[in-house]
């Protein structure tokens, strides 16, 4: 932890009120960063903030719909008004199960508005502040679905592919401003979302389906949110200062050992 310090840095984490975003928020505070959680779910996010504040006051929640550009700009400008922003983690996202035939126009619009436009909005709002400071770190949450085909993940794969190519483009365009931009591509991570998905779609077969989904990773289990947070901490620390424009799978061997 001492090696990957974020002391005196300010980080914005979208979707920080649950799952991977919650783990990243907690890890960054442990590493010394002041963390601003942007999330639409007020109740869950305030619970996370309350838990973090038992150990540290370096956290604040901002209710924000990342699909609304005016709202995002307002919140990020407000945070920047308190001091320099160093890190932006674009973690907020939603999922959808289905192929192109059972993916409606409404489904596409919903996933695009959060998974693609939400990432665009946050980078768009943060870039002027990073340029002014002549440094910054952006970390986007992509997915293994961005780089290989997964059954019944048409809309989700499309949006995560966009996140990955946005990462490459931003990294290229802002090299001269010392702004780094990377992506993490998780495989299946054990979060409350996964438990809820299994309970909803496979009632009475929860353990069977959990084991089946776990074994789709060659390593034989799902990842932990804390493991993704550890990778995020490294990539957003000064130790990763020579890394930009790169995608980092964290997948239990899924991509290389299943391709």
Q: Give the other-Cβ count within 10 Å of 212's Cβ.
A: 12
Q: Which of 156, 168, 174, 177 is labelled catalytic?
A: 156
Q: Are 198 and 209 in contact (CB under 8 A)?
A: yes
Active-site residue, 156 included: yes
Closest CA to 6 of 26, 25, 34: 34
- For the chain, how many helices (H) and strands (E)? 10, 7
Q: Are 76 and 122 in contact (CB under 8 A)?
A: yes
- Rounded CA gap, 159 and 94, in Å? 10
Q: Give the other-Cβ count within 10 Å of 255's Cβ.
A: 15
- Rounded CA gap, 197 and 212, in Å? 14
Which pair of tokens denotes residue 68?
């609304």
| Sequence-separated (6 or more) residues with CB below 8 Å from residue 135 | 86, 177, 178, 179
Q: Which residues carry out catalysis?
A: 156
């Amino acid at each position: 932890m001492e090696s990957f310090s974020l002391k005196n840095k300010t980080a914005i984490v979208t979707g920080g009120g649950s799952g991977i975003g919650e783990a990243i928020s907690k890890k960054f505070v442990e590493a010394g960063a002041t963390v601003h959680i942007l999330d639409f779910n007020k109740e869950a996010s305030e619970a996370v903030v309350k838990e973090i504040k038992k150990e540290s006051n370096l956290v604040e929640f901002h209710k924000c719909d990342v699909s609304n550009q005016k709202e995002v700009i307002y919140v990020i400008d407000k945070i920047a008004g308190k001091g320099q922003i160093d890190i932006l983690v674009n973690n907020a996202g939603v999922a959808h199960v289905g192929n192109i035939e059972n993916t409606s126009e409404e489904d596409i619009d919903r996933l695009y508005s959060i998974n693609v436009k939400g990432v665009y909005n946050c980078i768009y709002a943060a870039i002027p502040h990073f340029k002014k400071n002549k440094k910054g770190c952006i970390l986007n949450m992509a997915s293994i679905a961005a780089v290989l085909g997964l059954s019944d993940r048409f809309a989700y794969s499309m949006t995560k592919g966009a996140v990955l190519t946005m990462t490459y483009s931003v990294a290229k365009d802002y090299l001269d401003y010392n702004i780094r931009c990377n992506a993490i591509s998780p495989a299946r991570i054990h979060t409350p979302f996964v438990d809820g998905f299994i309970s909803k779609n496979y009632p009475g077969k929860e353990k069977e389906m959990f084991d089946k989904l776990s074994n789709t990773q060659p390593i034989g289990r799902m990842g932990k949110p804390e493991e993704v947070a550890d990778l995020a901490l490294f990539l957003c620390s000064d130790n990763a200062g020579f890394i930009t424009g790169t995608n980092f799978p964290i997948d239990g061997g899924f991509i290389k050992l299943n391709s």
